[in-house]
Amino acid sequence: MTEQAAARQGLTDLVDSFGRVIGDLRISVTDRCNFRCTYCMPEEGMKWLPRSEVMSFEEIERLARIFVERYGVSGIRLTGGEPTVRAHLPVLVEKLARLEGPSGPVDLAMTTNGASMRTIAQTLRGAGLARVNISLDTLDRRRFLEMTRRDELERVLDGIEAAKEAGFSPVKINAVVQRGVNDDEIVALAGYGRDHEVEVRFIEFMPLDADGHWGSEKVVGQDEIVATIDAAYPLDRLAARGAAPADRFAYRDGRGLVGVIPTVTKPFCGDCDRVRLTAEGQFRTCLFATDEYDLMSAMRRGESDDDLATRIEAAVASKWAGHRINQVDFVRPAKSMSQIGG
């Protein structure tokens, strides 16, 4: 579309004060989860949002439409909590998959723990979901139970196969690496990705765990992760990542790709094009933001799309240059990962 045609259709870029154009929206569809991963949630005592405070499908669709149709946001990722525990999720997927921006239909993806994929993968695929990322931090059943507090390794592994069978392409695996917890499995997880033709993305442990046990000594950095894999399976680094969060590498023997998301040791905020909506309709311009913008109340007060767009633009203008995890003045957000939507 030409600039003139875009202007005629009321389409504008959503640009922050550092010139970054927003292209990716993460939507948390629920704060609830059927796992209790130690790096994310406490074992007990999580306070769930009351149902009335969670965005309805119509509210999610309305906001998503503004981002896609008005601002040309091309990617939406559903997350949570665990998105598949939200009742009637395929109905929402169907609504969102129909959204179309200037560059065509929205690229609709989801991050899930994979435990329900055997039952729901085909339906989600049929409803228009294009891609899934499935979390898998260990291949050891006892360790899986310790890390997720659920004995569900077999179901997740089967869920990954179900996602492939349903035609999601690509299926990616998210593995959070913690020192002394699962850093001895980096090569095994990489090997799993090679054998099962899925792209594993190792994620540096971030200070977003509800228990507040994060410490920099528990982070295994990108350089170490890459060196560990490279020693077993030689790697070639791919070209610059652009706005994507993962640095990607190709196995030199041609058996696929592997990625690392180096949020802590090599922040990529300068290229960040992401914004987020929490399950209760709070708009965030950074995972680590300490401020939220209340779009839910604005919608429920009856504000127009133009009013909502003004709020969105003001919020994006305040997107900060970068998180300050490695700085002395870093302040942890009050919410943990599952409450924000990872």
Closest of 342, 154, 169, 326 to residue 261, by C-alpha: 342
Contact between residue 55 and residue 3 where contact means Cβ atoms under 8 Å apart: no
- Identity of the residue, 65 or 218, whose beta carbon is nearer to ligand SAM in the bound complex: 218
Closest of 275, 267, 266 to residue 293, by C-alpha: 275
Structure tokens that stand for 58 in this block: 């119509």
Residue nearest to ligand SAM (CB): 342
Structure tokens that stand for 213 in this block: 């046990």
Q: Give min distance, CB of 85 to ligand SAM, in A.
A: 9
- Identity of the residue, 101 or 159, whose beta carbon is nearer to ligand SAM in the bound complex: 159
Residue whose entry in the numeric block shows the structure tokens 């077993």: 232
Q: Give min distance, CB of 340 to ligand SAM, in A.
A: 8
Closest of 94, 50, 332, 47 to residue 207, by C-alpha: 332
Q: What span, in angstroms and rounded, lies between the C-alpha atoms of 27 and 282?
A: 10
Q: What span, in angstroms and rounded, lies between the C-alpha atoms of 70 and 310?
A: 12
Give the chain's length. Answer: 342
Q: Give min distance, CB of 338 to ligand SAM, in A.
A: 5
- CA distances, 189 to each of 12, 237, 296 (Å): 42, 19, 40
Q: Give min distance, CB of 4 to ligand SAM, in A.
A: 40
- Identity of the residue, 222 or 308, whose beta carbon is nearer to ligand SAM in the bound complex: 222
- Identity of the residue, 16 or 82, whose beta carbon is nearer to ligand SAM in the bound complex: 82
- Identity of the residue, 281 or 342, whose beta carbon is nearer to ligand SAM in the bound complex: 342
Q: What span, in angstroms and rounded, lies between the C-alpha atoms of 197 and 314?
A: 43
Q: Give min distance, CB of 341 to ligand SAM, in A.
A: 7
- Identity of the residue, 88 or 301, whose beta carbon is nearer to ligand SAM in the bound complex: 88
- Identity of the residue, 41 or 308, whose beta carbon is nearer to ligand SAM in the bound complex: 41
Q: Give min distance, CB of 104 to ligand SAM, in A.
A: 26
- For residue 45, give every residue at least 6 positions away whose Cβ sits within 8 Å of its Cβ, in sequence order, or none: none
Q: Give min distance, CB of 225 to ligand SAM, in A.
A: 13
- Identity of the residue, 196 or 255, whose beta carbon is nearer to ligand SAM in the bound complex: 196
Within 10 A of 129 (CB to CB), how many other CB atoms are there?
A: 26
Q: Give min distance, CB of 228 to ligand SAM, in A.
A: 18
Closest of 95, 126, 129 to residue 110, by C-alpha: 129
Binding site for ligand SAM (CB under 6 A): 33, 39-40, 79-80, 82, 111-113, 135, 174, 176, 203, 205-206, 208-209, 337-338, 342
Closest of 239, 235, 244, 277 to residue 170, by C-alpha: 244
Contact between residue 107 and residue 273 where contact means Cβ atoms under 8 Å apart: no
